[in-house]
């Protein structure tokens, strides 16, 4: 587990210079120029044309790999970004397709790099991001609007260079010292998550940013809730719980830097059917993560597929404790005027306005387990009221016959009364092991969690 590097005492004068440097690369005609690299001239010219379609403030040069290798760092430094078209389908035994990406990242660590792949897969995507690319697309799937979102910071840098006196709305364009925001990857009413780069960290990060001032957020309870999330995550240590890499408060923002998972979430994975083996594997890992969470007297309160991330070695990692709370915190500290959680995964007692305990997380896990096995949600409806009514009173639907041995486990998890559910995540894991006939599951080893990790 990485220890958080608090930036609360960082100098207010420290600022990420990447975008400013990009602005300096704008041409005298007030257009920023990107560089496209590939040996097929027709293909790179088509990508260059796509760049120009993104914004009238952007232009693009294109060169083959030999010409790129001959360019000096000074010359490359005049470009806003380098766009590599990478061939992953070449015969094995040749040069590493990502060699130019790795070399450029080492030589020019602040240069934005985008990769467009032919023949790549999820592992290639994960390795590309780890090498420092700000984004990755299959070349056949890239769209103008997606490319525009990725290049938006560069377009803004050119625009700001053309009008340096213009005041930037910081709530729309956060400035977090030491971080270069690469693209927006998620947004809710209260916070925005960016793919970001920090020179002091070894990998790209998911940077969650929450404005202190605004119409929807800014109360002391909001700040306490965010700080609680940071404290909770930094006190946990398990391979199935996301690492906190950094957190802090600036004059305008609260921020939290977490591991970035380029393979996406379980929500995306569920768009295609899961095998029984994968469903059980993911359920076990989530159960093990909940053991650690509950041992620290923490209830997640928002367990759902979009808060379960996938790694390139098929592990799952639990994220987003924004609705979590320690049972040691006074009951009114984390209350809000609206119900937290997600309608399809929320437990009946939470719908009734009660504070769920660990058994509420097990109910949500039951919904996820049913969805992974059956390929559909157990409780649905056309309106929020119908969904809530199903959680409160509808019977648990049946799994397909060939998966019937797991029905008692699902029934117990989805019991309406918390007293009828498993007493702990370990009890669930033992029941799942018995139902599947696999080796007994032992309580996972984890670093001791001090009382200070959960006290407020």
- SS3 per residue for the chain: CCCCCCCCCCCCCCCCCHHHHHHHCCCCCCCEEEEEECCCHHHHHHHHHHHHHHCCCEEEEEECHHHHHHCCHHHHCCCCCEEEEEECCCCCCCCCCCHHHHHHHHHCCCCCEEEEEECCCHHHHHHHHHCCCCEEEECCCCCHHHHHHHHHHHHHHHHHHHCCCCCCCCCCCCCCCCEEEEEEEEECCCCEEEEEEECCCCCCEEEEEEECCCCCCCCHHHHHHHHHHHHHHHCCCCCCECCEEEEEECCCEEEEEEECCCCCEHHHHCCCCCCHHHHHHHHHHHHHHHHHHHHCCEECCCCCHHHEEECCCCCEEECCCCCCEECCCCCCCCCCCCCCCCCCCCCHHHHCCCCCCHHHHHHHHHHHHHHHHHCCCCCCCCCHHHHHHHHHHCCCCCCCHHHHHHHHHHHHHCCCCHHHCCCCHHHHHHHHHHHHCCCCCCCCCCCCCCHHHCCC
Mean pLDDT for 43-72 is 88
pLDDT the model gives residue 285: 94
**Chain center to CA of 370:** 24
pLDDT the model gives residue 212: 67
| Least confidently predicted of 29-33, 271-275, 281-285, 367-371 | 29-33
> Can you list the domains of the chain with their CATH numbers?
18-162 (3.40.50.2300), 179-259 (3.30.200.20), 266-450 (1.10.510.10)
Closest CA to 341 of 368, 372, 376: 368
Is 329 buried (19+), middle (13-18) or exposed (0-12) by CB count in 10 A?
middle
Angle at 278 between CA 276 and CA 282, to 5 degrees: 120
Residue 262 pLDDT class (50, 70, 90 cuts): confident
Residue 14 pLDDT class (50, 70, 90 cuts): very low
> Which has the higher per-residue pLDDT, 451 or 255?
255
Note if 40 is an active site residue: no
β-bridge pairing 58-63 and 32-37: parallel
> Which has the higher per-residue pLDDT, 120 or 357?
357
Mean pLDDT for 427-446 is 70
Mind listing the pLDDT tens digit for each residue in 185-242?
776 656 788 888 887 877 788 888 877 664 344 556 666 766 776 777 777 777 888 8
pLDDT exceeds 60 at position 253? yes
Arithmetic mean of pLDDT over the chain: 77
pLDDT the model gives residue 368: 97
pLDDT exceeds 80 at position 178? yes
| Least confidently predicted of 91-100, 163-172, 401-410 | 163-172
pLDDT exceeds 50 at position 336? no
Say which residues have a Cβ less than 8 Å from residue 177's Cβ, sequence separation at least 6.
7, 10, 11, 12, 14, 15, 16, 250
Mean pLDDT for 390-410 is 95
Measure the CA–CA gap between 345 and 307, rounded to whole angstroms. 12
Of these ranges, 95-109, 152-166, 188-202, 359-373, the one predicted with the greatest mean pLDDT is 359-373
pLDDT exceeds 80 at position 173? no
pLDDT exceeds 80 at position 332? no
Residue 400 pLDDT class (50, 70, 90 cuts): very high
- Are the beta carbons of 62 and 198 closer than 8 angstroms? no
Measure the CA–CA gap between 205 and 194, rounded to whole angstroms. 8
Q: Which two tokens stand for residue 281?
A: 């594997």
Measure the CA–CA gap between 126 and 120, rounded to whole angstroms. 10
Catalytic residue among 16, 243, 246, 302: 302
Residue 323 pLDDT class (50, 70, 90 cuts): low
**Chain center to CA of 102:** 23
> Which has the higher per-residue pLDDT, 63 or 3?
63
pLDDT the model gives residue 445: 37
Helices 425-436 and 276-295 meet at what angle, rounded to 10? 160
pLDDT exceeds 70 at position 408? yes
| Least confidently predicted of 230-244, 296-310, 347-361, 380-394 | 230-244
- Are the beta carbons of 338 and 395 closer than 8 angstroms? no
pLDDT exceeds 90 at position 424? yes
Q: Which two tokens stand for residue 24?
A: 């300096």
pLDDT the model gives residue 22: 38
Number of neighbours of residue 29 by Cβ within 10 angstroms:
9
pLDDT the model gives residue 217: 44
Say which residues have a Cβ less than 8 Å from residue 1's Cβ, sequence separation at least 6.
236, 237, 238, 243, 447
Q: What is the share, in percent, of the chain residues with pLDDT greater than 70?
A: 76
Closest CA to 31 of 3, 54, 63: 54
Q: Which two tokens stand for residue 201?
A: 């960290």
């Amino acid at each position: 587990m990485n220890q958080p590097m608090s930036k609360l005492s960082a100098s207010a004068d420290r600022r990420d210079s990447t975008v400013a440097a990009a602005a300096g690369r704008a041409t005298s005609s007030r257009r920023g120029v990107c560089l496209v690299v590939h040996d097929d001239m027709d293909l790179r010219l088509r990508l260059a044309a796509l760049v120009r379609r993104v914004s009238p403030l952007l232009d693009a040069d294109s060169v083959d790999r030999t010409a790129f290798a001959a360019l000096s760092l000074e010359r490359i430094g005049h470009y806003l970004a380098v766009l590599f078209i990478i061939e992953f389908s070449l015969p094995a035994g040749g040069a590493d397709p990502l060699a130019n990406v790795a070399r450029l990242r080492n030589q020019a660590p602040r240069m934005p790099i985008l990769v467009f792949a032919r023949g790549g897969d999820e592992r290639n995507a994960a390795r590309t991001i780890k090498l420092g690319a700000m984004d990755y697309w299959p070349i056949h799937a890239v769209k103008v609007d997606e490319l525009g979102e990725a290049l938006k910071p560069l377009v803004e840098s050119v625009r700001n260079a053309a009008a340096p006196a213009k005041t930037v709305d910081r709530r729309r364009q956060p400035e977090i010292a030491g971080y270069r925001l690469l693209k927006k990857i998620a947004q809710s009413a209260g916070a925005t998550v960016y793919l970001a780069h920090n020179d002091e960290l070894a990998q790209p990060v998911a940077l969650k940013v929450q404005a202190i001032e605004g119409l929807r957020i800014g109360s002391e309870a909001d700040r306490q809730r965010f700080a609680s999330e940071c404290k909770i995550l930094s006190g946990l240590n398990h391979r199935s719980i996301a690492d906190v890499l950094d957190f802090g408060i600036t004059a305008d923002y609260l921020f939290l830097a977490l591991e970035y998972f380029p393979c996406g979430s379980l929500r995306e994975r569920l768009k295609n059917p899961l095998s029984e083996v994968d469903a059980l594997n993911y359920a076990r890992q989530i159960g093990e993560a909940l053991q650690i969470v509950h041992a620290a007297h923490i209830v997640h309160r928002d367990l759902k597929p979009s808060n379960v991330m996938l790694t390139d070695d098929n592990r799952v990692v639990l994220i987003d404790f924004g609705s979590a709370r320690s049972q040691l915190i006074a009951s009114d500290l984390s209350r809000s005027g609206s119900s937290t959680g997600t309608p399809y995964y929320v437990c009946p007692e939470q719908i009734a306005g009660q504070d769920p305990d660990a058994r509420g997380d097990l109910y949500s896990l039951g919904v996820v387990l049913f969805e992974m096995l059956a390929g559909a949600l157990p409780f649905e409806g056309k309106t929020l009221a119908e969904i809530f009514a199903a959680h409160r009173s509808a019977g648990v639907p049946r799994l397909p016959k060939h998966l019937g041995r797991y029905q008692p486990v699902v029934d117990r998890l989805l019991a309406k009364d918390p007293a009828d559910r498993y007493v702990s995540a370990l009890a669930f894991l033992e029941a799942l092991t018995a139902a599947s006939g696999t080796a007994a599951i032992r309580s996972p080893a984890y670093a001791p969690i001090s009382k200070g990790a959960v006290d407020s």
